[in-house]
Structures are given as structure tokens and as C-alpha cells.
Structure 1
């Protein structure tokens, strides 16, 4: 039996170059499993599989907690909207399996941390919708100033005292690395906003208060060595696992 908490990280299929090869691969940036490992957990990738849409328990049974990672835009068809022309790259098959896993994980009250795109998936899984291109509604691009970079994309997020998001971050004013042009629009059923950007009020953290631990953050804590979010999530999953085995 594995003593460390086993955290499943949802992967995407992306073109990847390595050695002499350039081909599709099941992929997440290495910072995700590294952040889980550094927090004391064992990270395993969940490769896309259409069977998860029908039977998500088949894979969820393997894990103590789930991380929904960042990535391409959620397809507007997943929440019944017409596509904005600025939404270029989507993967409906990834949306389908992640939404299915998310809904079932919530039904099971399984610990879940949803990061950036993952927070948007969480909102859609609960019946919410997304703003497809933030500059149109906000009049600025401060949430993704520099494409493909973490430096230059920092801003603060204010978290509600007593929220699960603030507990994971260890503070109510948290510096974040941000890289997104979409965001929560209509909030999904049962979700509450527990973090916002002070500059424009954009939702930056959402959670389900009637679940043990189900939190979405719109930023990327996995790339920030000063952020406690992933490590605290892993520690809380470890505590829940230990309590369940007593």
C-alpha cells in the first residue's frame, strides 16, 4: 500500500518534440508532478480516455485526490455557447473526460484542486459559463500581459478569510502568476467566489463549501516556489487519507 497521497493529474494530448521525434504525447508540464512530489505526494498522470466519460470511477478509484491542470481553452460547445473568433485551439474530447471526472469526483467528495483552465472546467462541470475573451469585457489584458511567460504576468489576488482557497494559500493577499484570457462568467451551481483580483474584481478562486475540499484557482501556483497552494492541498489530502485508514 502506498503511504503517500496519490494525486491524479489530468493530461492532454499535445504535439511534443523529443530527440528525433515530433509526435502526439499525453502531456502535462513537469512543474505539476514536481509540485505534488515536493509537497509529499505521489503524482500519476491521467491520460485521456473516452471511457472515463461513461465510467469515471474506473480511474478515480486509483487516486486520493485530483488536480485539473491548465491548458487550452474550454470549448464553448461544452457550455452551450457560440464560439468567439478569439477562441482558436480547443480539445472537446479533453473537455468531455475532465468534466465527467470532475462531476463524479464532486459526487464522491473527492479532494480536487482545479488550476487555471481547470477552474474553468470546474465551473462548467457545475453548469456555469465562461467569458471567452477577457479584454473585450475588461478593457485590458492584465491577466495575460506577456504570452508564454510567467515573469511579467504577476498580480495580487484577495482571498476571503476562512475560505479553503485562503487556507491553501496561507494568506488572504496572495501574489499570483496569471496566464489566461478566459474566466468565470455565470457561476455554476453550488459554487461560491472566494477570491478576486483587486484591480477589476475578476473571480480568481471558486469553491464548493459543501464539499470537504474542492477549490479552483485561476492562477498557476505550481510554477511559484513561494506559493503553498499545491503543497497544502497535498498535505490535506494526506491527512484525509490517514484519517480514513484509522
Structure 2
């Protein structure tokens, strides 16, 4: 029954956008994100960046059964004690603060969540980790970011015995869609690595000690034929909801 479906919140962009005669600041999210949630059996709700404190974040999370921190602009390097690289995006402090508060609250209450691309980077920073600001400087190639809105395909090795491994059937060489020029460097507290690519780049992490707290560097929403990560989140959110209303 539709009334039993879990409510999944997805964070959004806040950028200058054009539609018709309008050219305004707007909150938006590509359809593929929330379409994946609905196909996996959840109800999608969009969460635009807004002024936030602990009370506001808690009030939002009270109404959710699951959370997705989506892709987007680079995390402000000041949040992990670095000066900006020349290639790093202009900071989005409102979005950084909003998503940090939501993630922190989700971890504290055991609310299931999935981080995607920027979402994984934000999670790592929120837990005290750092980022490689420009991955080509580290690995010597642009294999993860062709630019101009074109996703590249890369193989990642999923670690057996992890939550991500269980969701993806311990795939030895999973082909994923990539669009990022940054990546996890020093790992945040309480995180463990659950997938890497052959150059050592961390491709998935999970939060230790929570029922469902995973994040991937790739874009699973770009593969509509493989909804396993979204299905895993929706399943965890369903159990979370059942426990909260029991």
C-alpha cells in the first residue's frame, strides 16, 4: 500500500537557473535522482538549502524515513582546513551547512542515508576527513571527469563483507558512471572503505555502527537498470519507519 512507503528526503542544488522568461536563483534536482527513489518503492521529497540549526534539522528529519545527500558543487575546503585549489568551485556555504546538519542528525538517530558523489565527500568532511581537491594531480588522468556534462565509465572493486558489498553482490568489477574531480583523502572518523578503483581512489564508504549509512563516489542514479543501492536505502527506511511507529 502507498501509505506504507517510506519518505525519502533528497537534498537539492541552489543555483542560478533559466526557465521560460525567468532567470532566478532556484532549487532543483535532476529527475533521475527522485525517479530512482520512486522506482525503488519510496516517496521522494526535495530538501532545498536553507538557514539551519540543530532544531530545524531535527524537525526535518522527524518527518523522514531516509535521506539522500546528492551530487553537486565542491565542498568548501575551509571546512577541512585547506586553501582552495584553482580548480575548486566557488563555495556553497549554505548547502554545506544544511547537508552537514542533516547528516549529523541522521547519524545520531540512526536514520538510513545514502551519499552520492558530493554526498560522500561531504560525509567524509563532516566526520573530520579531508579531500583531494583535484584528483588529476594525484592520479595523473581525468578518467573520472571528462567535463561538459559527460559521464565516464570506470570499474570499481567492491569489498566483500561490507554493507555496500552485500547490496551489490560483492561485485569484483562493477562498472559505474563517474563525474568528479575530487575524492576522499584522509578518511573521516568512524568510516570504513567498501570500494576502490584500481588506482586506489576510494569509491565507497560506510559509517560504522549505524543500520544503514553508505556513500558512493559514483552516480548510481545514472544507471536506471541497477537500483540496488536505492532499493537498499528504501528497504532500510521501511524498517526504520516500522520501528518509529511501532
Same fold (TM over 0.5): yes
Structure 1 residues without counterparts, runs of 5 or longer: none
- 2:18 equivalent in structure 1: 17
Aligned to 2:137, the other structure's residue is in SS state helix
Question: What residue in structure 2 maps to residue 219 of structure 1?
Answer: 218
Which 5+ residue runs of structure 2 have no aligned equivalent?
none
| Count of residues paired in the alignment | 243
Distance 1:236 1:53 in 2: 24
Question: Paired residue for 1:4?
Answer: 5
Identify the residue that residue 189 of structure 1 maps to in structure 2.
189
Distance of aligned partners of 1:7 and 1:129 in 2 relative to their CA distance in 1, 3 Å threshold: same
Q: 2:143 aligned with 1:142, yes or no?
A: yes
Deviation of 1:86 (Å): 1.0
Q: Provide the TM-score with structure 2 as the length reference.
A: 0.93
1:167 matched to 2:166? The reply is yes
CA contact (8 A) 2:52 2:97 kept: no
Contact 1:109 1:212 in 2 (8 A): yes
Q: CA deviation at 1:235?
A: 2.3
Deviation at 1:113, TM superposition (A): 0.1
* Paired residues for 1:50-65 under 5 Å: 50-52=51-53, 55-65=56-66
The answer as to whether partners of 2:57 and 2:101 remain within 8 angstroms in 1 is: yes
Kept in 2: contact 1:111–1:212 (CA 8 A)? yes
Q: Distance in 1 between the 2:61 and 2:244 partners?
A: 16
Give the Cα–Cα distance (whole angstroms) in 1 for the partners of residues 169 and 15 of structure 2: 34
TM value normalised by structure 1: 0.93
Task: Tell me the alpha carbon deviations over residues 119-176 of structure 1, each in whole angstroms, 9 at most, x when there is no partner.
Answer: 00000110111100000111111111343112xx001111111211122333423210
Aligned mates of 2:141, 2:21 — CA distance in 1: 41
- Map residues 1-246 of structure 1 onto 2, 5 A cutoff: 2-52=3-53, 55-150=56-151, 153-172=152-171, 173-198=173-198, 200-227=199-226, 228-246=228-246
Shift of the alpha carbon at 1:244? 4.5
Question: What is the alpha-carbon distance in structure 2 between the residues aligned to residue 120 and residue 74 of structure 1?
Answer: 7
